[in-house]
Amino acid sequence: MKVETYLFGAVEVNPEKVINFPNGLVGFEQSKRFALVNDEGGEDAASFTLQSLDDPELAFQIVDPTSLGFNYELVLSDVENALLQSPSSDDVVVMQVLFKKEDGEKAVIGANLRAPLIINTKARVGLQKVMETFRQNMTLSNLSSSL
């Protein structure tokens, strides 16, 4: 199907690749169908565009949290597990939504750590898990000891 988008113009989306978010995303509950859309040659991209198929002007940059040195230890509720259709851990990906914040004259890009996206890649269904509190599990690499 052909979808008109704000960022990429008209793009072809395979209906079998649509990701459904039955509850929508926080603040955008009316948008439930999304697709990953990238620029040409974007297969090795560090971030991806999650494009709403319900609202052509709605798109989010998302990134694998491990690319930022961050790992989640998530526990799904029975309701969340049912919504995701009881996936195996191999069929689940966790992504973070990026945001832009103006800081004076400088724009800062950050990641929403408290509301990751959890997607069952096999069933093509996802949810945004909003956490009141969370334990940070940071993984830092390329560090050298001064001892």
In this prediction, residues 38-55 reach a mean pLDDT of: 76
pLDDT above 70 covers what percent of the chain? 84
8-state DSSP, 133: S
Confidence of residue 96 (pLDDT cuts 50, 70, 90): very high
CATH of domain 2-135: 2.30.290.10
Q: pTM value?
A: 0.82
In this prediction, residues 16-34 reach a mean pLDDT of: 95
- The answer to whether 118 touches 126, Cβ cutoff 8 Å, is yes
The backbone torsions φ and ψ at residue 63, rounded to the nearest 5 degrees and listed phi first, read: -145, 150
Task: Find the range with the poorest average confidence among 58-62, 83-87, 137-141.
Answer: 137-141
- What DSSP letter does each residue of 10-79 carry, written as one string? EEE--GGG-EE-TT-BTTBTT--EEEEE--TTGGG-SEEEEEESS-TT-EEEEE-GGGGTEE------HH
The tokens describing 143, both together, are 């560090």
Q: What angle do CA 33, 57, 22 make, to 5 degrees?
A: 20
In this prediction, residues 38-65 reach a mean pLDDT of: 82
Examine the pLDDT at 147 and tell me if it is beyond 70.
no
d(CA 4, CA 147): 57
d(CA 117, CA 21): 10
Taking only the tens place, the pLDDT of each residue in 2-20 is: 888 888 889 899 999 999 9
Say what the pLDDT of residue 39 is: 60
